[in-house]
Structure 1
Amino acid sequence: MGLELYLDLVSQPCRSVYIFAKKNGIPFEFKHVLLFKGQHKTEEFAKVNVLGKVPALKDADFTLSESIAILLYLARKFKTPDHWYPSDLQKRARVDEYLSWQHVATRLCGTKVFLIKALAPIFLDEPLPPAKLNGALEDLNGVLKQFEEKFLQDRPFIVGNEISLADLVAIVELMQPVAAGCDVFEGRPKMAAWRRRVEEAIGKDLFLEAHEPILKPKDMTTESLPPEVKEQLKQSLLKYLK
């Protein structure tokens, strides 16, 4: 049995795994887990990931969850080019630094803006107070300032002259608010230039392929959801946005 990746490209952690695997020619079977149909909450999926989240990896009898762990596993197993996760001690430490920081920074804030602007109108019966979005945007702007000043600085990429896992994870996180109509690159020429370099390093076709589900959403609807699944997702959203 070959490598299986359980993904839904609406999710930014899934996109980073998908892009990395495709860019590096890693052979895998794409198992599409539709979040908007509640497929991540089924008993069948729990056999792969009891946490009920994507992405997930299955390699024969070995299973793994959490996108960063999956990226590092793929990089090591398939011996991908060194620039992704450098063997140089200090460069690798810079990658680790960003990957450790992003969970409560770019990912958290970008996801919150996306949920408020794109998903809340779909799942909730009434709009959230404007103050909720304003607060999320304020938090995101603070994180973007930190990203520019601390992690990007004046370098072409986060670690130096070549793309790394840090850049890959960062770009998919920052595309999340973009998909909701909040262009985080507008008025930030340094970040905009970085985005262009990252897209070119990934390949524009692959970049667009991976982001199409959120830039041109087709399945973001609750019409086909069973009532109990819709309510479960609604409560999860409300809990997240408290």
Structure 2
Amino acid sequence: MSNSEVVEIFVSPFSQPARAVWWFCKLQNVPHEFKPIQLGQGDHKTAEYKAINYFQRVPALRCGSFTLSESGAILTFLSRKYGAGTDWWPEDLEVAGRVAEYIAWHCGAAGLQAAGVGWVFPSVFASQRDDALIADRRVDFHKALDVLEQYFLARNTAYIATEHLTVADLLAAPEVAQIHMIDDATFTLDKHPKVKAWFERMRALPDYQSIHEQVLQRKKIDF
């Protein structure tokens, strides 16, 4: 498996973790083929896709005969394969441990990803809007932002694990961006100044606009 081999990434532009993987490929110039998955049309429920991703979610990766699911695992693999000698996955073991710690929290039941999905789904996909549920999920998301503010960014570093960008930041930013875009009338980071400053740095990165373009065009996401 060489570094010149084209990686296939199976992505829905409306999936936050899938956008994180796509963003890495763009920033690191990973030779890749974008494979769009239309969730609303059931592309992820086919037997063909299940052979690539047993869990039938996005994102997924295929590199030759090797397949991988779960955004944290995919970003770890890509950063080690295509980002060797860079800061994406730090060589310093303590900093690398911070990156791994963030990924584990982010993807866990109480992490930023679950909190973001909890807010997005009743806001966008529910057949009947439940304002009370949305209010509860908004509280959950802000609790997750509290963790980002008070723990992961409490070391006063520019980015989540250290002073430089890592894959942890790429995983986190699309979650904040998604809420910012679907609820831009009321969503604010004013109570989380460290998160706000970090997010502004993330928004200034190359390809931020391009990976979020389709979501920006459709505030009501229909896949």
TM-score, structure 2 as length reference: 0.89
Trace 1:1-242 onto structure 2 (pairs within 5 A): 2-103=6-107, 104=109, 105-120=111-126, 124=127, 126-128=128-130, 130-153=131-154, 154-181=156-183, 183-200=187-204, 202-203=205-206, 206-217=207-218, 220-221=221-222
Whole-angstrom distance in 2 between the partners of 1:136 and 1:192: 20
**Is the 1:36–1:220 Cα contact (8 Å) retained in structure 2?**
no
Change (3 A) 1:80 1:119: farther
**Contact (CA 8 Å) 2:12, 2:59: kept in 1 or not?**
yes
Give ranges in structure 1 of 5+ residues lacking alignment: 223-242
Q: Is the 8 A contact 2:13 2:212 kept in 1?
A: yes
- The answer to whether the 8 Å contact 2:11/2:59 transfers is yes
Query: Which of 1 and 2 has greater Rg?
Result: 1
Residue pair 1:48, 1:56 contacting (<8 A) in 2 also: yes
CA distance in structure 2 between the partners assigned to 1:6 and 1:56 by the alignment: 5
Distance in structure 2 (CA, Å) of the matches to 1:6 and 1:88: 31
Residue 51 of structure 1 aligns to a residue whose secondary structure is coil
Q: How many pairs are equivalent?
A: 214
TM-score using structure 1 length: 0.82
What do residues 167-187 of structure 1 show as CA deviations (whole Å, max 9, x unaligned)? 111111111211220524244
**Structure with more helix by fraction:** 1
Runs of 4+ in 1 over 4 A off after TM superposition: none
Work out the CA distance in 2 between the residues paired with 1:163 and 1:88: 14
Residues 98 and 184 of structure 1, relative CA distance in 2, 3 Å threshold: farther
